[in-house]
Amino acid sequence: MNEVRQEETPPSPEELILLLEAVARGQDHKAFAQLFAHFAPRVKSFLRRSGLADGVAEEVTQEVMIAVWRKASYFDPRRAGAATWVFTIARNQRIDRLRRLRSAAGEELPDPSEQPDAPPSGEDIALAAEREEQVRKALATLPAEQAAILKLSFFADKPHAEIARELGIPLGTAKSRVRLALARLRAMLDRDL
């Protein structure tokens, strides 16, 4: 089995957690194939969006998926959802790649996702799932322009400049719009606390 079929319906957050747990428990290649079909194209898209060239983005995507396989036992649904966990791996691998491109030594750097934290309490289980749901809802209800600003603040290398260019507004205005969008998001997230 070395073909991966394109997914028809994306797995639900709960299904993704089960797939990761299957990989952690039994080195399950079938579960991994589903995770790959779901995450690899999105991870590559994220890496392209945040400035990596196509070939490098694909290499890093492969590293990310290998890390998903190897670190699946570190995944803890009490801390974060599956997509959030994969996102942090992709983010760290991207930072690592950029640092290695800059330093001649090419040494392996510590990956923060490997560092064990304090064990979560029972309450955290519900909290993490709730938090993810809350964030998804907040993003869905954010006005289109603010959602776009949030996306650019997340994925752009020079967010203020890109927001200014994309929305055709001065740099100073872009800065205050970012502040507004984040304040709005924060108000939505805090309301549900």
22 vs 65 by CB, closer to another protein: 65
> Which is closer to another protein, CB of 78 or CB of 165?
78
Listing DSSP states for 84-105 in one string gives HHHHHHHHHHHHHHHHHHH-TT
CB of 171 to another protein, least distance (A): 12
Report the nearest approach of another protein to the CB of residue 185 (Å).
8
Residue that is written with structure tokens 């709960």 in the block: 14
Minimal distance, residue 168 CB to another protein, in Å: 21
DSSP state, residue 9: S
Beta carbon nearer to another protein, 25 or 99: 99
CB of 170 to another protein, least distance (A): 16
The radius of gyration of the chain's CA atoms, rounded to the nearest angstrom, is 18
Q: Is 162 exposed, middle or buried (0-12, 13-18, 19+ CB in 10 A)?
A: middle
Nearest CB to another protein, comparing residues 21 and 132: 132
Cα dihedral 37/43/44/45 (nearest 10): 110
